[in-house]
């Protein structure tokens, strides 16, 4: 009986369809990413800040003057920043846009913690950040700029912002799952 079942063409069609479906499902959903993390620890900008002068010392102290060879007022500065909120997956950390000493802009994700997933991207968008399910699917509704694939779901990382990007139009950042058109988490980018 079993040998007759193995010789039946319908059996081989079913086995082939099942194998193809399983292969496609594993590729599409990548379930192993739910239990694996990719940690990135890139060097982030040391932002200049002035320490208040003490009553006994009338000269302001700038601890950042020696960092990265910056002099007071010419080092990297924070242009915009915001805290991540959770959407489809638990997400935390800080997003900040830095203007470097040479005038370039870059997005830094500081202490990012989110789930790993298939086809995750970093998007600057013009959509407001909404909490809960209302914010999951809005970021592809308007104008967005993709800065690249998410380098890792944990840690510190930086992304260059192209010179032609108008920050006045883009008010948030999203960790966007392009495959399923859903935000894992997002941060509003308020002027610093």
Q: How far apart are CA 106 and CA 156, in angstroms?
A: 13
Task: Tell me how many degrees the CA angle 77-82-86 measures, rounded to the nearest 5.
Answer: 150
> For position 35, what pLDDT does the model report?
61
Extract long-range pairs of 31-35: CB within 8 Å, 24+ residues apart: 33/115, 33/116, 33/117, 33/118, 34/115, 34/116, 34/117
In degrees rounded to 5, what are phi and psi of residue 38? -120, 115
- Please tell me the pTM assigned to this model: 0.73
Q: Please state the domain extents for the chain.
A: 1-35, 37-51+58-191
Give me the pLDDT at residue 26, please. 55
Full pLDDT tens readout for the chain, 192 residues:
566 666 677 766 777 777 666 665 655 556 655 668 899 999 999 986 543 333 443 333 333 333 333 444 578 999 999 999 999 989 999 999 999 999 999 999 999 999 998 899 999 999 999 999 999 899 999 999 999 999 999 999 999 999 999 999 999 999 999 988 999 999 999 998
List, in order, residues 6 or more apart from 124 with CB less than 8 Å away.
107, 144, 145, 147, 161, 165, 170, 172, 173, 189
> Residue 1: what pLDDT?
59
**C-alpha to C-alpha distances, 29 to 23, 35, 38, 142, 177, nearest whole angstrom:** 10, 13, 17, 26, 11
Computed on alpha carbons and rounded to an integer, the radius of gyration of the chain in Å comes to 23
CATH number of 37-51+58-191: 2.60.40
What's the rounded Cα separation, in Å, for the pair 85 and 112? 11
- Which pLDDT score is estimated for 16? 74
How many CB atoms are located within 10 Å of the residue 49 CB?
A: 12
8 A C-beta contact, residue 123 and residue 107: no
């Amino acid at each position: 009986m079993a040998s007759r079942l193995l010789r039946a063409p319908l059996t081989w069609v079913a086995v082939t369809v099942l194998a193809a479906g399983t292969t496609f499902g594993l590729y599409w959903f990548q379930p192993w990413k739910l239990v694996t993390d990719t940690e990135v620890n890139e060097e982030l900008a040391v932002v200049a800040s002035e320490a208040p002068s003490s009553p006994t010392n009338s000269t302001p102290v700038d601890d950042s003057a020696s960092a990265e060879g910056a002099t007071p007022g010419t080092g990297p500065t924070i242009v915009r920043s915001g805290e991540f909120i959770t959407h489809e997956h638990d997400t935390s950390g800080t997003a900040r846009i830095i203007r470097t000493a040479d005038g370039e802009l870059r997005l830094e994700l500081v202490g990012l913690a989110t789930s790993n997933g298939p086809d995750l991207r970093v998007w600057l968008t013009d959509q407001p950040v909404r909490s809960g399910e209302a914010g999951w699917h809005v970021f592809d509704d308007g104008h967005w700029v993709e800065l690249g694939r998410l380098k890792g779901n944990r840690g510190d990382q930086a992304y260059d912002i192209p010179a032609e990007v108008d920050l006045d139009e883009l008010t948030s950042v999203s960790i966007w799952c392009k495959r399923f058109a859903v935000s894992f988490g997002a941060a509003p980018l308020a002027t610093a």
